[in-house]
Amino acid sequence: MAWMRRVFGELLGLFVDDGILAAVVLIWISAIWFLQPHVGQWATALLLFTGPSAILLLSAFRFARKGR
């Protein structure tokens, strides 16, 4: 059974490098999906662009700080 866990971990690692980054982006997109009926189309587009961009930038800073 340990080999199954290891294989699953390797397969997941092919698609998800940083689990926290992936989880935060999924939470952000789901929040925008719930807010979409209440905000305008331009606001939705702006939030869908700036949110993941900021999350990625913060993740890069976190990774750079951890690497030192």
**pLDDT tens-digit profile, the chain (68 residues):** 888 899 888 887 777 777 788 889 999 999 999 999 999 899 999 999 999 999 999 988 988 888 75
- The answer to the question of residue 26 being in a domain is yes
- The answer to the question of residue 47 being in a domain is yes
pLDDT of residue 44: 93
Total domains in the chain come to 1
- The answer to the question of residue 1 being in a domain is no
CA distance 42 to 56: 21
pLDDT of residue 16: 74
pLDDT of residue 1: 82
Q: Looking at the whole model, is its pTM more than 0.75?
A: no
- The answer to the question of residue 29 being in a domain is yes
Which residues span the domain enclosing 58?
A: 17-67
For 25-62, letters b (16+ CB in 10 Å) and e give beebeeebeeeeeeeeeeebeebeeebbeebeeebeee
- The answer to the question of residue 6 being in a domain is no
Look at phi and psi of residue 7 and say left if phi exceeds 0, alpha if psi is from -120 to 50, else beta: alpha
The token duo for 22 is 């992936």
